[in-house]
């Protein structure tokens, strides 16, 4: 069961999410990069994309997900309403204010190539020099000497981190989604990977048992929040939570 916890006083409340669909990106190809919600609340459009070696997205594909039963069907392109929704959801500026905006800051970070596990049993806890590890001591020494510079993009709103991208393309809306103007709130992925909601006064609510969340998306009437949660290799679950004032 997904449990919600209020961190600070929030003007709205987020209910316990219900699972709508399981998404197998091994079959759909790529990874989820956009989630749009139809105005009548009956459909989602899911975009999946592949990434090249530099972390940039390519080869977008589109799927319609029925909200009632989670049925998934391919579509050749995103309908016009999905583009309109995404432009609103991922805007840098808050719908309720012409001066409240997400600060986007990009920096360079130097990382060692050993920051990511290499092949063999070393990735599972093996030790260098172990003939069965698949990684020699010489290979380890060479890898340690190699470094690379990557781009890190951090998104902040009213002092709260609402997005973080390291060595991959920054996608607006991937880690946040604005609520309709009248609610004056934002749903976002916090530093722990959990779904959180914050209003214009800084009140927050965190869904404590969520993890590895991406693509939070409000219904256009503000009564529900959808999001994807990564469940393992190539597996995501689509959840929807009710919103009450």
Residue whose pair of structure tokens reads 């009213």 in the numeric block? 158
Residue whose structure tokens are 């929704």: 85
Q: Which span out of 104-113, 117-126, 128-137, 178-187 was modeled with the highest average pLDDT?
A: 178-187
Q: Is 127 contained in some domain?
A: no
pLDDT in tens, 191-217: 999 999 999 999 999 999 899 999 999
**pLDDT tens across 144-169, in order?**
557 888 999 999 999 999 999 999 99
Please provide the average confidence, as pLDDT, over all residues in the chain. 86
What is the domain range of residue 22?
5-97+153-244
The confidence band for 92, taking pLDDT boundaries of 50, 70 and 90, is very high
Q: What is the pLDDT of residue 116?
A: 42
73, part of any domain: yes
Helix locations, the chain, DSSP H: 25-28, 80-89, 137-144
Query: pTM for the complete prediction?
Result: 0.82
What pLDDT is attached to residue 111? 79
**Residue 141 covered by a domain:** no
Q: How many domains does the chain have?
A: 1
């Amino acid at each position: 069961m997904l449990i919600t916890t209020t961190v600070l006083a929030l003007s709205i409340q987020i209910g316990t999410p219900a699972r709508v669909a399981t998404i197998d990106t091994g079959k759909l190809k790529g990874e989820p990069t956009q989630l749009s919600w139809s105005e009548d609340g009956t459909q989602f459009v899911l975009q999946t994309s592949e990434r090249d070696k530099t972390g940039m997205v390519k080869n977008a594909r589109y799927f319609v997900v029925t909200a009632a039963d989670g049925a998934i069907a391919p579509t050749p392109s995103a309908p016009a309403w999905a583009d309109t929704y995404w432009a609103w959801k991922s805007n840098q500026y808050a719908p309720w204010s012409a001066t409240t905006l997400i600060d986007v800051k990009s920096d360079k970070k130097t990382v060692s190539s050993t920051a990511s596990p290499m092949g063999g049993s070393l990735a599972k806890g093996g030790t260098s020099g172990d003939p069965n590890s698949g990684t020699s001591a010489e290979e380890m020494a060479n890898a340690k000497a190699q470094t690379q510079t990557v781009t890190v993009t951090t998104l902040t709103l009213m002092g709260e981190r609402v997005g973080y991208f390291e060595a991959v393309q920054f996608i607006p809306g991937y880690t946040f989604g604005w609520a309709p103007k009248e609610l004056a709130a934002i749903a976002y992925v916090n530093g722990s990977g959990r779904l959180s909601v914050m209003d214009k006064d800084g009140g927050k609510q965190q869904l404590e048992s969520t993890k590895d969340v991406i693509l939070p998306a409000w219904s256009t009437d503000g009564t529900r929040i959808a999001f994807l949660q990564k469940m393992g290799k190539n597996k995501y679950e689509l959840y929807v939570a009710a919103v009450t004032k």
